[in-house]
Amino acid sequence: MITLGIETSCDETAAALLEDSRILANAVYSQIEHGMFGGVVPEIASRAHLEKVDRLAAAVMKDASLAPRDLGLVAVTDSPGLAGALLVGVSFALGLHVRYGMPVIGVNHLEGHISAIYLSRPDIETPFLALVVSGGHTAIYRVDGVEKYACLGRTVDDAAGEAFDKVGKMLGFSYPAGRAIEEEARRAAATDNGPSFPMARLSSSSLDFSFSGLKTAVKYFLAEKGAAFARDNRPLICKAFQEAAVIALVNNCAAASEASGIRRIALVGGVASNTRLREAMRQRLGDMVYFPPPTLCVDNGAMIACAGYRRFKLGLTRFPHMDPGGAL
Protein backbone atom coordinates (compact mmCIF):
# COMPACT_ATOMS: atom_id res chain seq x y z
CA MET A 1 0.00 0.00 0.00
CA ILE A 2 1.18 3.53 -0.82
CA THR A 3 1.01 6.02 2.07
CA LEU A 4 1.44 9.77 1.78
CA GLY A 5 2.77 11.36 4.96
CA ILE A 6 2.21 15.07 5.68
CA GLU A 7 4.00 16.97 8.46
CA THR A 8 3.25 20.63 9.28
CA SER A 9 3.40 20.80 13.07
CA CYS A 10 6.02 23.56 13.45
CA ASP A 11 8.56 25.09 11.04
CA GLU A 12 9.19 22.25 8.59
CA THR A 13 6.80 21.49 5.77
CA ALA A 14 7.28 17.87 4.77
CA ALA A 15 5.78 15.21 2.53
CA ALA A 16 6.86 11.63 1.86
CA LEU A 17 5.66 8.49 0.12
CA LEU A 18 6.05 5.00 1.54
CA GLU A 19 5.27 1.69 -0.09
CA ASP A 20 4.46 -0.31 3.02
CA SER A 21 7.55 0.66 5.06
CA ARG A 22 9.89 1.50 2.16
CA ILE A 23 10.56 5.16 1.39
CA LEU A 24 9.77 6.05 -2.21
CA ALA A 25 10.25 9.81 -1.93
CA ASN A 26 10.87 12.28 0.88
CA ALA A 27 10.93 16.10 0.76
CA VAL A 28 11.32 18.69 3.54
CA TYR A 29 11.17 22.48 3.35
CA SER A 30 12.79 24.15 6.36
CA GLN A 31 11.40 27.60 6.96
CA ILE A 32 14.44 29.87 7.15
CA GLU A 33 12.04 32.82 7.46
CA HIS A 34 12.16 32.51 11.25
CA GLY A 35 15.92 33.08 11.53
CA MET A 36 15.62 36.86 11.77
CA PHE A 37 13.25 36.53 14.73
CA GLY A 38 15.32 34.07 16.76
CA GLY A 39 12.48 31.55 16.97
CA VAL A 40 9.34 30.28 15.27
CA VAL A 41 6.61 32.84 14.56
CA PRO A 42 3.32 30.87 14.38
CA GLU A 43 1.62 33.09 11.80
CA ILE A 44 4.64 33.00 9.49
CA ALA A 45 4.87 29.23 9.90
CA SER A 46 1.22 28.74 8.96
CA ARG A 47 1.51 30.90 5.85
CA ALA A 48 4.67 29.09 4.74
CA HIS A 49 2.96 25.71 5.14
CA LEU A 50 0.01 26.99 3.11
CA GLU A 51 2.35 27.99 0.29
CA LYS A 52 4.45 24.81 0.29
CA VAL A 53 2.43 21.76 1.33
CA ASP A 54 0.74 21.16 -2.03
CA ARG A 55 4.01 21.72 -3.89
CA LEU A 56 5.90 19.23 -1.73
CA ALA A 57 3.15 16.63 -2.10
CA ALA A 58 3.24 17.11 -5.87
CA ALA A 59 7.04 16.87 -5.85
CA VAL A 60 7.14 13.51 -4.06
CA MET A 61 4.39 12.21 -6.35
CA LYS A 62 6.47 13.20 -9.35
CA ASP A 63 9.64 11.68 -7.87
CA ALA A 64 7.87 8.36 -7.35
CA SER A 65 6.01 8.52 -10.69
CA LEU A 66 2.68 8.21 -8.90
CA ALA A 67 -0.67 9.99 -9.04
CA PRO A 68 -3.07 10.79 -6.15
CA ARG A 69 -5.33 7.92 -7.23
CA ASP A 70 -2.47 5.51 -6.46
CA LEU A 71 -2.58 6.40 -2.76
CA GLY A 72 -4.03 3.90 -0.31
CA LEU A 73 -3.70 6.11 2.77
CA VAL A 74 -2.87 9.66 3.83
CA ALA A 75 -1.24 10.09 7.25
CA VAL A 76 -1.04 13.60 8.68
CA THR A 77 0.28 15.10 11.90
CA ASP A 78 -2.69 16.36 13.92
CA SER A 79 -1.05 17.02 17.33
CA PRO A 80 0.85 18.44 19.12
CA GLY A 81 2.09 21.59 17.43
CA LEU A 82 1.13 25.09 16.37
CA ALA A 83 -2.63 25.20 15.87
CA GLY A 84 -2.57 27.10 12.59
CA ALA A 85 0.28 25.01 11.20
CA LEU A 86 -1.49 21.74 12.05
CA LEU A 87 -4.69 23.05 10.48
CA VAL A 88 -2.93 23.52 7.14
CA GLY A 89 -1.72 19.92 6.99
CA VAL A 90 -4.97 18.39 8.21
CA SER A 91 -7.02 20.49 5.78
CA PHE A 92 -4.81 19.44 2.89
CA ALA A 93 -5.13 15.76 3.83
CA LEU A 94 -8.91 16.01 4.15
CA GLY A 95 -9.05 17.75 0.78
CA LEU A 96 -7.33 14.75 -0.79
CA HIS A 97 -9.81 12.48 0.94
CA VAL A 98 -12.80 14.43 -0.41
CA ARG A 99 -11.38 14.51 -3.93
CA TYR A 100 -10.00 10.97 -4.23
CA GLY A 101 -11.68 8.99 -1.44
CA MET A 102 -8.61 7.47 0.25
CA PRO A 103 -8.70 7.12 4.05
CA VAL A 104 -6.96 9.70 6.23
CA ILE A 105 -5.38 8.92 9.61
CA GLY A 106 -4.19 11.45 12.19
CA VAL A 107 -0.76 10.87 13.75
CA ASN A 108 0.68 12.26 16.95
CA HIS A 109 3.97 14.02 16.22
CA LEU A 110 5.83 12.20 19.02
CA GLU A 111 4.59 8.85 17.80
CA GLY A 112 5.93 9.87 14.40
CA HIS A 113 9.41 10.48 15.80
CA ILE A 114 9.36 7.12 17.59
CA SER A 115 8.19 5.40 14.39
CA ALA A 116 11.17 6.83 12.48
CA ILE A 117 13.33 4.12 14.02
CA TYR A 118 11.39 1.47 12.07
CA LEU A 119 12.47 3.05 8.78
CA SER A 120 16.13 2.29 9.51
CA ARG A 121 15.71 -0.60 11.98
CA PRO A 122 12.54 -2.46 10.94
CA ASP A 123 13.70 -5.46 12.95
CA ILE A 124 13.92 -3.65 16.31
CA GLU A 125 12.18 -5.73 18.95
CA THR A 126 9.83 -4.48 21.65
CA PRO A 127 10.00 -3.49 24.36
CA PHE A 128 12.50 -0.73 23.78
CA LEU A 129 13.08 2.70 25.25
CA ALA A 130 12.73 5.78 23.07
CA LEU A 131 14.42 9.07 23.91
CA VAL A 132 12.50 11.71 21.99
CA VAL A 133 14.67 14.81 22.03
CA SER A 134 13.93 17.84 19.87
CA GLY A 135 13.29 21.56 19.94
CA GLY A 136 9.87 21.11 21.48
CA HIS A 137 10.05 17.79 23.31
CA THR A 138 12.35 15.83 25.59
CA ALA A 139 10.96 12.60 27.04
CA ILE A 140 11.74 8.93 27.57
CA TYR A 141 9.10 6.38 26.60
CA ARG A 142 8.84 2.67 27.09
CA VAL A 143 7.54 1.29 23.79
CA ASP A 144 5.70 -2.03 23.81
CA GLY A 145 4.08 -1.67 20.40
CA VAL A 146 1.71 0.54 18.44
CA GLU A 147 -0.48 2.50 20.86
CA LYS A 148 1.49 1.06 23.78
CA TYR A 149 3.61 3.87 25.16
CA ALA A 150 4.49 4.70 28.75
CA CYS A 151 6.24 7.95 29.62
CA LEU A 152 9.07 7.33 32.09
CA GLY A 153 10.42 10.87 32.22
CA ARG A 154 9.96 14.25 30.56
CA THR A 155 11.29 17.77 30.72
CA VAL A 156 9.74 19.92 33.41
CA ASP A 157 10.70 23.16 31.62
CA ASP A 158 12.71 23.66 28.42
CA ALA A 159 13.25 20.95 25.84
CA ALA A 160 16.87 20.16 25.06
CA GLY A 161 16.64 21.55 21.54
CA GLU A 162 15.06 24.73 22.87
CA ALA A 163 18.02 25.17 25.24
CA PHE A 164 20.42 24.77 22.30
CA ASP A 165 18.56 27.46 20.37
CA LYS A 166 18.42 29.91 23.28
CA VAL A 167 22.08 29.47 24.17
CA GLY A 168 22.93 29.78 20.50
CA LYS A 169 21.14 33.12 20.39
CA MET A 170 23.21 34.31 23.38
CA LEU A 171 26.36 33.36 21.48
CA GLY A 172 25.36 35.10 18.29
CA PHE A 173 24.16 32.15 16.20
CA SER A 174 21.05 32.37 14.06
CA TYR A 175 18.00 30.15 14.65
CA PRO A 176 18.05 27.15 14.73
CA ALA A 177 21.38 26.93 16.54
CA GLY A 178 21.88 23.24 17.33
CA ARG A 179 24.13 22.42 14.40
CA ALA A 180 26.12 25.65 14.78
CA ILE A 181 26.83 24.88 18.44
CA GLU A 182 27.90 21.34 17.58
CA GLU A 183 30.24 22.53 14.83
CA GLU A 184 31.70 25.28 17.02
CA ALA A 185 32.27 22.79 19.86
CA ARG A 186 34.36 20.63 17.51
CA ARG A 187 36.81 23.51 17.15
CA ALA A 188 37.74 23.22 20.84
CA ALA A 189 40.69 20.92 21.43
CA ALA A 190 39.97 17.82 23.49
CA THR A 191 42.53 18.90 26.08
CA ASP A 192 41.24 22.45 26.45
CA ASN A 193 39.76 23.22 29.85
CA GLY A 194 36.62 25.26 29.48
CA PRO A 195 33.88 26.32 31.88
CA SER A 196 31.84 23.78 33.81
CA PHE A 197 28.08 24.18 33.68
CA PRO A 198 25.69 22.46 36.11
CA MET A 199 23.40 19.57 35.26
CA ALA A 200 20.01 19.61 36.96
CA ARG A 201 19.14 16.59 39.10
CA LEU A 202 15.52 16.70 40.19
CA SER A 203 15.70 13.77 42.61
CA SER A 204 17.49 10.47 42.89
CA SER A 205 14.44 8.56 41.66
CA SER A 206 13.19 10.94 38.95
CA LEU A 207 13.80 10.39 35.24
CA ASP A 208 12.56 13.90 34.40
CA PHE A 209 14.77 16.50 32.73
CA SER A 210 15.38 20.19 33.35
CA PHE A 211 17.36 22.46 31.03
CA SER A 212 16.29 25.94 32.16
CA GLY A 213 18.99 26.04 34.85
CA LEU A 214 21.69 25.11 32.35
CA LYS A 215 20.51 27.86 30.02
CA THR A 216 20.52 30.38 32.89
CA ALA A 217 24.00 29.31 33.99
CA VAL A 218 25.34 30.05 30.51
CA LYS A 219 23.56 33.43 30.54
CA TYR A 220 25.15 34.46 33.86
CA PHE A 221 28.55 33.15 32.78
CA LEU A 222 28.49 35.25 29.62
CA ALA A 223 27.31 38.32 31.52
CA GLU A 224 30.17 37.94 33.99
CA LYS A 225 32.90 37.32 31.42
CA GLY A 226 31.84 39.91 28.87
CA ALA A 227 31.41 40.00 25.10
CA ALA A 228 35.13 39.92 24.25
CA PHE A 229 35.72 36.76 26.31
CA ALA A 230 32.66 35.08 24.81
CA ARG A 231 33.83 35.90 21.29
CA ASP A 232 37.38 34.63 21.85
CA ASN A 233 36.30 31.47 23.71
CA ARG A 234 33.12 30.54 21.89
CA PRO A 235 34.26 27.00 20.95
CA LEU A 236 35.02 26.17 24.60
CA ILE A 237 31.71 27.60 25.78
CA CYS A 238 29.81 25.63 23.14
CA LYS A 239 31.67 22.47 24.07
CA ALA A 240 30.94 22.91 27.79
CA PHE A 241 27.25 23.62 27.22
CA GLN A 242 26.81 20.74 24.79
CA GLU A 243 28.58 18.34 27.14
CA ALA A 244 26.33 19.30 30.05
CA ALA A 245 23.19 18.80 27.94
CA VAL A 246 24.43 15.48 26.54
CA ILE A 247 25.41 14.08 29.95
CA ALA A 248 21.97 14.93 31.34
CA LEU A 249 20.28 13.06 28.48
CA VAL A 250 22.61 10.06 28.70
CA ASN A 251 22.39 9.79 32.49
CA ASN A 252 18.60 9.61 32.48
CA CYS A 253 18.58 7.06 29.66
CA ALA A 254 21.06 4.92 31.55
CA ALA A 255 18.94 5.16 34.70
CA ALA A 256 15.77 4.28 32.75
CA SER A 257 17.51 1.30 31.16
CA GLU A 258 18.74 0.04 34.52
CA ALA A 259 15.36 0.51 36.22
CA SER A 260 13.39 -1.19 33.43
CA GLY A 261 15.92 -3.83 32.46
CA ILE A 262 15.51 -2.79 28.81
CA ARG A 263 18.76 -2.48 26.87
CA ARG A 264 17.37 -1.52 23.45
CA ILE A 265 17.16 2.27 23.12
CA ALA A 266 16.00 4.36 20.15
CA LEU A 267 17.34 7.91 19.97
CA VAL A 268 14.94 10.02 17.87
CA GLY A 269 14.02 13.64 17.21
CA GLY A 270 15.97 16.55 15.79
CA VAL A 271 18.63 16.60 18.53
CA ALA A 272 19.29 12.91 17.81
CA SER A 273 21.30 14.20 14.84
CA ASN A 274 23.92 15.54 17.26
CA THR A 275 27.03 13.42 16.79
CA ARG A 276 28.31 14.02 20.32
CA LEU A 277 25.02 12.75 21.76
CA ARG A 278 25.14 9.65 19.55
CA GLU A 279 28.73 8.99 20.55
CA ALA A 280 28.04 9.42 24.27
CA MET A 281 24.96 7.19 24.14
CA ARG A 282 26.92 4.40 22.48
CA GLN A 283 29.86 4.80 24.86
CA ARG A 284 27.64 4.57 27.94
CA LEU A 285 24.92 2.18 26.78
CA GLY A 286 26.58 0.01 24.15
CA ASP A 287 25.67 -1.16 20.66
CA MET A 288 21.95 -1.57 21.39
CA VAL A 289 21.41 2.17 20.97
CA TYR A 290 19.83 2.81 17.60
CA PHE A 291 19.11 6.05 15.76
CA PRO A 292 17.71 6.98 12.34
CA PRO A 293 19.86 8.81 9.77
CA PRO A 294 19.86 12.60 10.30
CA THR A 295 17.32 13.15 7.51
CA LEU A 296 14.80 11.10 9.49
CA CYS A 297 15.62 12.72 12.84
CA VAL A 298 14.33 16.16 11.85
CA ASP A 299 10.60 16.62 11.29
CA ASN A 300 9.71 14.73 8.10
CA GLY A 301 6.81 13.15 6.30
CA ALA A 302 8.30 9.65 6.18
CA MET A 303 8.04 9.17 9.93
CA ILE A 304 4.40 10.30 9.84
CA ALA A 305 3.63 7.95 6.97
CA CYS A 306 5.30 5.08 8.83
CA ALA A 307 3.33 5.74 12.02
CA GLY A 308 0.07 6.04 10.09
CA TYR A 309 0.68 2.87 8.11
CA ARG A 310 1.53 0.85 11.22
CA ARG A 311 -1.63 2.06 12.94
CA PHE A 312 -3.80 1.48 9.87
CA LYS A 313 -2.66 -2.15 9.60
CA LEU A 314 -4.00 -2.75 13.10
CA GLY A 315 -7.27 -0.94 12.48
CA LEU A 316 -6.35 1.90 14.85
CA THR A 317 -7.71 5.12 13.47
CA ARG A 318 -6.45 7.52 16.13
CA PHE A 319 -4.17 7.46 19.14
CA PRO A 320 -6.37 8.26 22.18
CA HIS A 321 -4.12 10.84 23.85
CA MET A 322 -0.47 11.74 24.22
CA ASP A 323 0.19 14.95 26.12
CA PRO A 324 2.43 17.46 24.25
CA GLY A 325 4.77 17.50 27.24
CA GLY A 326 5.40 13.79 26.96
CA ALA A 327 2.94 12.16 29.38
CA LEU A 328 0.20 9.81 28.28
Q: Which domains are present in the chain?
A: 2-114+296-313 (3.30.420.40), 125-292 (3.30.420.40)
- pLDDT value, residue 284: 97
**First-last CA distance in the chain:** 30
Are residues 61 and 67 in contact, defined by beta-carbon separation less than 8 angstroms? Answer: yes
Distance CA 14, CA 8 (A): 7
Do strands 22-30 and 138-145 pair parallel, antiparallel, or not at all (unpaired)? unpaired
Distance CA 92, CA 262 (A): 40
Instruction: Give how far the C-alpha of residue 295 lies from the chain's centroid of Cα atoms, to the nearest Å.
Output: 11
Distance CA 179, CA 177 (A): 6
Do strands 265-268 and 128-133 pair parallel, antiparallel, or not at all (unpaired)? parallel
Q: Sheet containing 12-19: which strands, arranged edge to edge?
A: 22-30, 12-19, 2-7, 73-79, 104-108
Burial class (CB in 10 A: 0-12, 13-18, 19+), 74: buried
Vertex 268 angle, CA 145 and 218, to 5°: 140
Q: pTM for the complete prediction?
A: 0.92
Which DSSP symbol is given to 15? Answer: E
Quickly count: other Cβ atoms within 10 Å of residue 33's Cβ: 14
Quick check: helix, strand or coil at residue 9?
Answer: coil
Quick check: helix, strand or coil at residue 1?
Answer: coil
Number of helical (H) and strand (E) elements in the chain, helices listed first? 11, 10
- pLDDT value, residue 323: 43
Backbone angles phi, psi at 144, to 5 degrees: -110, 5
**From first to last of its 328 residues, what are the pLDDT tens digits of the chain?**
999 999 999 989 999 999 998 999 999 998 877 777 777 888 989 999 999 999 999 999 999 999 999 999 999 999 999 999 999 999 999 999 999 999 999 999 999 999 999 999 999 999 999 999 999 999 999 999 998 999 999 999 999 999 999 999 999 999 999 999 999 999 997 777 789 998 877 777 899 999 999 999 999 999 999 999 999 999 999 999 999 999 999 999 999 999 999 999 999 999 999 999 999 999 999 999 999 999 999 999 999 999 999 999 998 865 444 444 443 3
Question: Which string of DSSP letters, residue by residue, matches 269-301?
Answer: SGGGG-HHHHHHHHHHH-TTEE---HHHHSS-H
- pLDDT value, residue 318: 59
